[in-house]
A and B are shown apart, each in its own frame.
Chain A
Amino acid sequence: MMLIPCPWCGPRDEAEFHYGGQAHVAYPADPAALSDAEWARYLFFRDNPKGPFAERWSHAAGCRRWFNVVRDTATNEIHAVYRAGGQRPVSP
C-alpha cells in the first residue's frame, strides 16, 4: 500500500484517498468553438507515461481536500505533493 503525504494531514494510507486522474488538464477557454474530435480529446485523452506523472488525489476519508501528487507510475515513488491550483514543481 502507498503512503500518500496529504499536504494538510500528513502521510496517510492510500485507502483513505480517491484518485482523480491526470492533473493540469485545463478546461477549454471556449468550449463551444471545439469540434467533436477536439472535445473528445479534452474529455477522454490522457497521458499515460511510464515515470513521473502529475495526478490529482482527494483525501476522501480525512480532510476531503483535493491536491496534486507527482508519482512515478513505474515505482510508485512520490516525488512531490502540492496544493490544488499550484504549479507543478520542476523536477530535479
Chain B
Amino acid sequence: MMGERPSPPARFEPVADGDLRIAEVSFLTQVNLRLDPGDPAAGDIGRALGVPLPTEPGTYGSADVDVLWLGPDEWLIVGEPGRERDLETRLRTAAGTGHVAVTDVSAQRTTLLVAGPKARDLLAHGCALDLHPRVFGPGRCAQTMLARAQVLLVARDGDEFLVLVRPSFAGYLVAWLLDAAAEHLSGQPG
C-alpha cells in the first residue's frame, strides 16, 4: 500500500528484559468518534463495533478493535495498522444520518508498549495517576501527563501498557523512558 514509512521514534532500539519491555507499536489505526451517547446511533455503532461504547469515564471495551473513552461524547477506536478505511466505513454506515463525527486520526499519535512486572513502577516515575492494579487495572485508560508529555495510557492484561503519544513528543518520551528504566534493566549502566 505504501512504501517504507519511518515511524516517529525511528532510531529507538526496543528494550527487552525479564521484568521490562519497551517497544514501539507503530501505525495503529486510530479513529476519533464524537456523538451524544444518548443518540440512537450510539447503539448502532456499538453493534457495528461488536462492543458498546463505554460510558464510564476512563474505561475501554475490546472486540477486534479497542474502543477507548476520551470524554463524555468522544471515543478513540484503535485497531490494527492499515484498517483506517474499513473502520471509517463501518462507523459511517452504522452512524447513518445521525449527528456523528468520524475522523481518522491515525497519524496523530504513535504507540509505545511498556510491559512487564516493572512497567507500573517505570510509568509511576513520571505520572501522577495512581497506577495500582486495583485502580488502574486491565480495561482502564486515561489521558494524562507522563513526564510532562500528554499521553493516553491504556492498561491491558498481564502488566502491559500502551502509551499513545504525539509523534513530536515520541522521541523525547522514549529517551525519558529509557533513562527512567535504567534502574530496572540488568546489564545496563545505571
Contacts and interface: CB of A to CB of B under 8 A. Distances in A.
Q: Tell me the interface secondary structure of chain B in the complex.
A: strand
Given A9-B57, A13-B128, A61 B70 contact: no
Nearest to B143: A62
Interface string A26-57: 00000000000000000000000000000000
A13 B57 CA distance: 17
Interface of B: 57-58, 70-72, 74, 128-129, 142-145, 150
Nearest to A6: B57
Nearest to A1: B128
Nearest to A62: B143
A81 B109 CA distance: 31
Contact of A63 (B57, B128, B129): B57
B72 A63 contact: yes
B28 to A, nearest CB: 21
B128 A12 contact: yes
Contacts of B150: 61
Interface of A: 8-10, 12-13, 15-16, 61-65
B58 A9 contact: yes
Contacts of B129: 12
Contacts of B144: 12, 16, 61-62
Given A8-B72, A61-B144, A65-B71, 7 more contacts: A9-B142, A61-B143, A61-B150, A63-B57, A63-B70, A64-B70, A64-B71
A83 B180 CA distance: 38
Nearest to A83: B72
A16 B145 contact: yes
B71 A8 contact: yes
7 contacts: A8-B57, A9-B58, A10-B58, A12-B128, A61-B143, A62-B142, A63-B72
A85 B142 CA distance: 25
Contacts of B57: 8-10, 63
